[in-house]
A and B are shown apart, each in its own frame.
Chain A
């Protein structure tokens, strides 16, 4: 079992719809969770981070964390073609040990 798992996609959603990206992790002791967006050939860009169970909203983005289920998700409302990218889930297992998932490729269809 990989430490951080994501569906590789591609996930296709129509413009204006909600995109839902999911991530599971294996280390129950993990405390910090991050979502990054990466365009091809570019560096990962931080979108959201979440530490506590529940939801955290920032503009069109909502991160959801359920530590009991070892599950973290990212919702993108009113999806735009410019949101088309690979979304990476990252998990901090403590002591500066951060592991990335394989990423989910999102395609927003105009």
Chain B
């Protein structure tokens, strides 16, 4: 079965550089979530999109932005990178569901970002 695809798998950037992470959800999934996970920490919610509109916003720095495109893939753009941005970045998607009964999130394999 098709899964959530994230690219790249690994990314090394220097401080103050920019990075773009991509996420391709499972076909027919209309909701995309982005999470950041530092070493030994739980996933921290950054932002989510439903039908190409931002649906929720978490602890996403102002230096980061994201969007969901017409084909439902999503990109997380990160600028002025800092050492503390080094983490695993997960994308997850879920299929259409009712307002309250959210279908489960399915995670991609993540992008490991290292800022030097």
List residues of chain A with CB under 8 Å of any chain B CB: 29, 31-32, 34, 36, 41-46, 49, 51, 88, 90, 92, 94-103
Known: A95-B55, A98-B33, A103-B42. A44 touches B48 (CB 8 A): no
Name the distance in Å between B56's Cβ and chain A's nearest Cβ: 5
Interface centre among A31, A43, A44, A97 (most CB of B within 10 A): A43
List residues of chain B with CB under 8 Å of any chain A CB: 31, 33, 35, 41-43, 45, 48, 50, 55-56, 88, 90, 92, 94, 99-102, 104-110
Chain A residue contacts of B33, Cβ below 8 A: 96, 98
Chain A residue contacts of B94, Cβ below 8 A: 96
- Contact between B100 and A31, CB atoms less than 8 A apart: yes
Known: A32-B102, A46-B104, A90-B105. A96 touches B48 (CB 8 A): yes
Name the distance in Å between B101's Cβ and chain A's nearest Cβ: 6
Chain B residue contacts of A95, Cβ below 8 A: 55-56, 99-100
- Contact between B88 and A41, CB atoms less than 8 A apart: yes
- Contact between A43 and B101, CB atoms less than 8 A apart: no
- Contact between B56 and A97, CB atoms less than 8 A apart: yes
Name the distance in Å between B113's Cβ and chain A's nearest Cβ: 14
Among B48, B99, B102, B109, point to the contact of A43 (Cβ < 8 A): B109
Among A31, A34, A101, point to the contact of B104 (Cβ < 8 A): A34
Chain A residue contacts of B100, Cβ below 8 A: 29, 31-32, 92, 94-95
- Contact between B102 and A99, CB atoms less than 8 A apart: no
User: What separation, in Å, do the CA atoms of A95 and B35 have in the docked complex?
Assistant: 17
Q: Which single residue of chain A is at the shortest CB-CB distance from B109?
A: A43
Chain B residue contacts of A36, Cβ below 8 A: 107
Pairs across A and B, CB under 8 Å, 20 listed: A31-B100, A42-B109, A45-B107, A46-B105, A88-B42, A88-B43, A92-B101, A92-B102, A94-B102, A95-B55, A95-B100, A96-B31, A96-B48, A96-B55, A96-B56, A97-B56, A98-B45, A99-B45, A101-B42, A102-B42
